[in-house]
Structure 1
Amino acid sequence: MARSAPTRAAPRRPGFARCLSSGSMTAQTTVPRLASFTCAGARLELPLMPASDPDSSARAAADRATALALAAGAFAVYAAGACRTIYVGDSGELVAAVHTLGIPHPSGYPLYVLLGKLWTVLVPLGSVAFRMSLFSALCAALAVGLVYLAARALAVGRVAAAAAAVLFAASPSFWGEANVQRVYALNALFVALATLLALQWDAAVSEDKDVHRRERLFVGTALVCGVGAANHTFLAVWGALFLLFALVRDRGLVRRWRTLIAAGGAALLGLSFYGFLFFRSRQEPRLDWGDPETPGALWAVITRRDFWPRKWLSGPGDLLPIARDFFSSFAVELTWAGALLALAG
């Protein structure tokens, strides 16, 4: 009987752990975040995660905690003095619009009406007027926290950034809007948020590392401007100025048409809140300023065509008093000491 030849075992390749212990493994980074390992002729590619900076994470966490503390302190102060009844000016009209889901004077302020209605339902504390005063207090307090974060984004020290936020919180005009039923506290919140995102975008452009993060910040800023403009049209002007700045700051942006289209779509998505005026007007609410049931009437309400005939600038002669009022307001809002510190900074 013929004896079969003994089978030879295939030569064993050293295992991955043996390569590590024997030092027979060579590593070579082929592309960013990808490492190629060669062990006894076998090649293995593993993704590499970028190393996180614990100091940077700790600083960011500390900044968020400080911003939250500043916002909480500001809210406590504003809420303590919140107006418990109807304030002067257009506050009565705005409270009525929130309560009845109506349409106040142009530009209609649909975001304020919708958010205000939601707030008054979720916070059944006191009268509707008092609830809307608390809503302004919350928006203003959040804006204070965002001002601190914006200052930190400019590489301002923590103490100086906190001082800037407190000075902003205590400025007379801002404080005067922080506890009454008006749209300006919500507007300040969106301006502060858009400014913070714009500063983060600018920093991302300077670093020139994460292109996707830079584009997300750009589109996010456009979205905030669109949504904020549904509360006050000032954010539309702010957004247009930011676009001009972005095109100058990032010369390659004009060639990234997908990013521009995405930003435009995000802004239009935010502005879509104005559709509330069109559909709500067709339901004949008790308060229906301008009756924006047609596209033409809706545009007239949004642009204040028939509401504000007075021109902001009638001629060159208006420039001097406007400039005088603007610069004199620094002493009123910041005191002379604060104004001098601002100039020194």
Structure 2
Amino acid sequence: MWFLWSCVPGLYWKDAGELTTAGFVLGVPHPTGFPTYMLFAKLASMIPVGNVAFRVTMVSVICASVAVGACVYSVTKIAERLKPPTISSISVWIGAILSVGILLQSPTFDLISTTAEVYSPLAMAITLSLAVFVAWTHDPDAPYLRWFLYFIAAFGVGTHILATPILVLLVMMVVASISTAAKRRYLGLDARFLVAGAITAPLVYLYLPLTALADPFWNWGDPTTLDRFVAHVSGASIRMAFADSMGIHSWATTQMWLEQYWLQLWEGATWLIFFGIFGLYAVWRSNQKKFAAALVFIWAIDGAFSVWVNPMGIVDRQTAVPSIVVSTILSAYGGVWLYHVICIKAPKSALIRSICLTSLAILLALPTISAPDRPTRKNDQYADLVGHAILQQTAPGGRLFVASDDMSAALAYLTAVDGARPDVAVIFSSHVYDHNAVTRWGRLYKSQIPDRTLRLSQAARASNRWMYTEEQRQILASMADVPVAHSTGVWETGQPSFDSLWRTQLTPSFPLFSGTLSGLNPNLPSADAAAAPQSPYPLADTLDTVKRWSQWLHTPPTLESAHLIAECLRQGALWEAQQNRLQSASAILAASLNIAPDYDRSLANLGAVLDRMGDVAAAITATQRAVELRPWAAGPRVNLTRMFIRTGELTQATTLASETLALAQNPSDVANVHVELGKIALLSKSYDEAKFHTQQALEINQNHAGALELVRHLDTTSHQSPGH
């Protein structure tokens, strides 16, 4: 009931729009494809309750509820073996309460349970498989348990590749049944069927090429050929799309992602997570060695995947879900076991029992105590509202190009599924990334991924009218499913902001309203239409949109929605800064941080603006905070290094630059760090080292302005000091 009460009533950000749309049209979402989830999403979309987005979200709600129940079953089933029974009956209740409490307080589990996400069905598959495994260890001769686990494995593997450890559990059960049958001098028929089932379960992924052959509206990567199919299922294509942030890079990046991974486990359990050590020990000692091994195996696989394969999933609160489930089971049982041991040592002391129960209650309540104002998503309709605001301001028959994943998915859903504006064509790109350090969220660049990632809405496909720049037409001409016409102009959004909107309409009036906007007063006056500058884009009054955003803030926004609005303000500040209106830019960034105080991008930009205004101390403070919030981002680190160099703090600059060089994954960032290290070496009169870093930067970008400036300084130095 908690998940149902707190779930999103409509469309949400992140992958929700893509998964809902792809499920509704039986399409192909981003890797690894999630075929089982697509089928369940389609079934859910046909239930006449609420809108389509809510129906698909209900899949997450139901799966999360089952996952919580399965966790409770696993913990209580093991606790039933504790003796004496008088204590174990209380222990069962303790285990149930701890299991539910830890999961409900986990921000990550809460996110996947109340929005359209594949990780809630994944959590259900993992927890159900563990519950069946526990039941099997109690009754190894029950053949129906092996069949049940086979169906769970087929569902889980078809939902997400992280469910593959379930196949290992299935094999363990099959091997045990074969061993038992061999002692009886025959091989069980069920064992042979289960082996065949374990091999055929992944065949559910044939959904991807089969549905792609029909060329559905949402067809990420078009996995109709063997190489594209393998790249899709293995996740290779999306790793290419996020080449700057996926995969193993260095020990420094591994350490950084391990810290983020640990933080996600810590958030829901806090100090109770250390009870997991006792829980693992107790499970191992209670003749449940196979179950203990299964828990460790799932935890290790998910941890390795999260840290080394898809660390961005940690940032998006996704990939650590199996680990959260396992740590919940171990922590809950660890608390049960400790209570049981203490009660055995003092069987007649009601005071000691009361102290134990009170301590467990306090530890369980710590996550809520530390974050008492954590908002629910039950009123979060920002994706719907922002999407409708954009569509309302689009001219009849208009064309929207959207570079943001979140916004493109939202608009695709509204036009293709919700039917909000069937006359509007949405041209969207999903995970399009240029490997040459070009921003993902600016203008449209051709991806180096050999997949068709650019898609068109149904309205766009049915129309022959297009609006492109010459550069974009050349790019789109290479896409087989995109016709090319001779026209100019395009309506763009940034990530996920109204980039062109700010640049053409809002910013000329912004200095007049910056003071009001710093608090986002809902009583903002409407803009004078006659005074508004002319715009080539099909947009109506922009300040009315800002006023609408401020009214939405009467309901405390979730973190993602607050960041969306903060990002919109940040884009306006960037334009002001480009026009050298630094005072206005700093005021807008202050407004952005007023909405989302922990929005690292606004903090980083505020640091850069304050630095240009001459307030270096405040600039360093803001940038340091940005680095703390997003330690893997190289940009703020490079800016902070430059500030340290200008203030003469070369030791701090060297330390920070060296750390950044170990973390940087984007070639452009690596070149920038080498330039800063070259400056430090030049100031320290280490000319050979300065030349080395300069050469490293020029090898990456032979036209790097900072590196060329270093070359000129080094040439001057060499003339003045012939010995160098």
TM-score category, normalised to shorter length:
0.5 to 0.7
Matches for 1:28-47 after TM superposition, within 5 Å? none
Change over 3 Å in CA distance of 1:238–1:323 after alignment to 2: farther
Q: TM-score, normalised by structure 1?
A: 0.67
Matches for 1:136-155 after TM superposition, within 5 Å? 136-155=60-79
Moved more, 109-118 or 161-170: 161-170
Which residue, out of 253, 270, 273, partners 1:339? Answer: 273
Q: How far did residue 268 of structure 1 move?
A: 4.2
Which residue, out of 81, 85, 98, partners 1:164? Answer: 98
| Structure 1 CA distance for aligned equivalents of residues 226 and 188 of structure 2 | 29
Q: For residues 203-244 of structure 1, what are the alpha-carbon distances to aligned partners after superposition, in whole Å with 9 as ceiling and x for unaligned?
A: 234xxxx3xx1x44234323311221101111113423x257
1:154 match: secondary structure: helix
Q: For residues 281-308 of structure 1, what are the alpha-carbon distances to aligned partners after superposition, in whole Å with 9 as ceiling and x for unaligned?
A: 1111111112122344323221122221
Q: How far did residue 100 of structure 1 move?
A: 1.1
Q: How far did residue 133 of structure 1 move?
A: 1.8
1:96 match: secondary structure: helix
Partner of 1:14: none
Partner of 2:192: 261
Partner of 2:651: none
* Two-structure CA RMSD over aligned residues (Å): 2.8
Change over 3 Å in CA distance of 1:264–1:298 after alignment to 2: farther
| Structure 2 CA distance for aligned equivalents of residues 125 and 247 of structure 1 | 42
Partner of 1:38: none
Partner of 2:37: 112
| Structure 2 CA distance for aligned equivalents of residues 185 and 266 of structure 1 | 24
2:224 match: secondary structure: coil
Which residue, out of 194, 207, 213, partners 1:276? Answer: 207
Partner of 2:158: 230
Matches for 1:121-136 after TM superposition, within 5 Å? 121-122=46-47, 124-136=48-60
Paired residues of 1:91 and 1:182 also in contact (CA < 8 A):
yes
Q: Does 1:180 align with 2:115?
A: yes
Q: How far did residue 326 of structure 1 move?
A: 3.7
Between the two proteins, the alignment pairs up a number of residues equal to 260
Q: How far did residue 150 of structure 1 move?
A: 1.2
Q: For residues 231-278 of structure 1, what are the alpha-carbon distances to aligned partners after superposition, in whole Å with 9 as ceiling and x for unaligned?
A: 1111113423x2575588779279658555322322344333222222
Q: Does 1:304 align with 2:235?
A: yes
Q: Does 1:287 align with 2:218?
A: yes
Partner of 1:100: 25
Paired residues of 2:25 and 2:217 also in contact (CA < 8 A):
yes
Q: Does 1:239 align with 2:164?
A: no
Task: Provide structure 1 residue ranges, at least 5 long, that are not aligned to the other structure.
Answer: 1-75
Which residue, out of 170, 174, 179, partners 1:252? Answer: 179
| Structure 1 CA distance for aligned equivalents of residues 153 and 250 of structure 2 | 30
One-letter code aligned to 1:77: W
Paired residues of 2:4 and 2:61 also in contact (CA < 8 A):
yes
One-letter code aligned to 2:77: A
Change over 3 Å in CA distance of 1:99–1:264 after alignment to 2: same
Matches for 1:56-67 after TM superposition, within 5 Å? none
Q: How far did residue 172 of structure 1 move?
A: 1.6
Change over 3 Å in CA distance of 1:121–1:269 after alignment to 2: farther
Q: TM-score, normalised by structure 2?
A: 0.33
2:236 match: secondary structure: coil
| Structure 2 CA distance for aligned equivalents of residues 265 and 251 of structure 1 | 14
2:117 match: secondary structure: coil
| Structure 2 CA distance for aligned equivalents of residues 226 and 192 of structure 1 | 14
Task: Provide structure 2 residue ranges, at least 5 long, that are not aligned to the other structure.
Answer: 81-90, 279-333, 335-724
Q: How far did residue 196 of structure 1 move?
A: 0.8
- Percent identity, aligned pairs only, is 23
